[in-house]
Amino acid sequence: MKVSLIQTNPNTDRDANLRITRELMECAIATDSPDLLVLPEYFEFYGGTLADKLAAAEPLPGGAAYAMVQEVAREHGVYVHAGSLLERIAEDERRIYNTSVVFDRRGREITRYRKIHMFDITSPDGTAYKESDSVKPGEEVVVYELDGFKVGCGICYDIRFAELFLALADQRVDLIVLPAAFTLQTGKDHWEVLSRARAIETQTYFAACGQWGTHFDNGEPRQTFGHSLVCDPWGHVIAKASDGVGFVTARVDRDVLERTRTSIPIHTHRRLAHH
């Protein structure tokens, strides 16, 4: 199975974000013929004020981003793991869900995952992030099937919580997909090492698809790290995007999965409960 990660630099112009994202998706399809396309976190809209985010959120199914991704999946016969969308919550006017939506080759929605862990941190340069002010956490661990492979879901800050990935490993997933908007400050030190660790401990392929570049949050410039990458189950980085907007493609190989799990059968050796 071939997986292409689309790396974009979204801002608060949804029409431009969707146009650029679609162009990159179609370029990846024409160039690499992937089975699965992965988009970054909040590929449709990023930055602005809290009021901007709440106003931009749309119910799912519905909205321009949902429709665009669905159309690409159907027109090109490709699975799309649509990074994350701002999902409006009918019963909560103050918060949204940060939601991945997955479409099959016919453009049908097959699952959605709502980000569980909220990014409420202070980065090394003193910048404060408080995702829980505007986002309601999800609660479900989500796995879906894709042409005989089992795929697990995470989003961005989730990467730091090993228990989520052990729960996915318990379900014997083959690939974990993690859309992200990792900050430059944390990304330069933690992005690759965490991705590799998650791949090694779960013995899966790990596809981490990041935003790259500058956006403005409440008028303040902020940087995302990019470096979208795929790790194999041994922890090798087998594909990585350069700085800038673009895409990168890797192969998920069933033989590599089986060889890794047979040589070090950690699934049968685990002794401590982790639930």
SS3 of 244-274: the string is CCEEEEEECCHHHHHHHHHHCCHHHHCCCCC
Cα–Cα distance for residue pair 174/101, rounded to 1 Å: 19
Helix axes 162-170, 184-202, angle to 10 degrees: 30
Helix (H) or strand (E) holding 146: strand 143-146
By 3-state DSSP, what share of the chain in percent is helix, strand and coil, each rounded to 5?
30, 35, 35
Q: Angle at Cα 188 formed by Cα 155 and Cα 223, nearest 5°?
A: 70
Q: Which of 153, 156, 209, 231 is the catalytic position?
A: 156
Alpha carbon 115 to chain centroid, angstroms: 10
* CA dihedral of residues 150, 140, 114, 26 (deg, nearest 10): 10
Based on the residue annotation, tell me whether 115 is a catalytic residue of this protein: yes
Its sign, for the CA torsion 136, 113, 111, 57, is positive
Q: Which of 41, 44, 58, 87 is the catalytic position?
A: 41
Instruction: Locate 41 and state its tokens.
Output: 């976190």
Based on the residue annotation, tell me whether 188 is a catalytic residue of this protein: no
Spatial CB neighbours of 150, under 8 Å, sequence gap ≥ 6: 143, 144, 171, 172, 173, 174, 175
* Residue 131 neighbours by CB distance under 10 Å: 16
Its sign, for the CA torsion 96, 98, 103, 107, is positive
Q: Which of 58, 87, 115, 209 is the catalytic position?
A: 115
Based on the residue annotation, tell me whether 231 is a catalytic residue of this protein: no
Residues with catalytic annotation?
A: 41, 115, 156
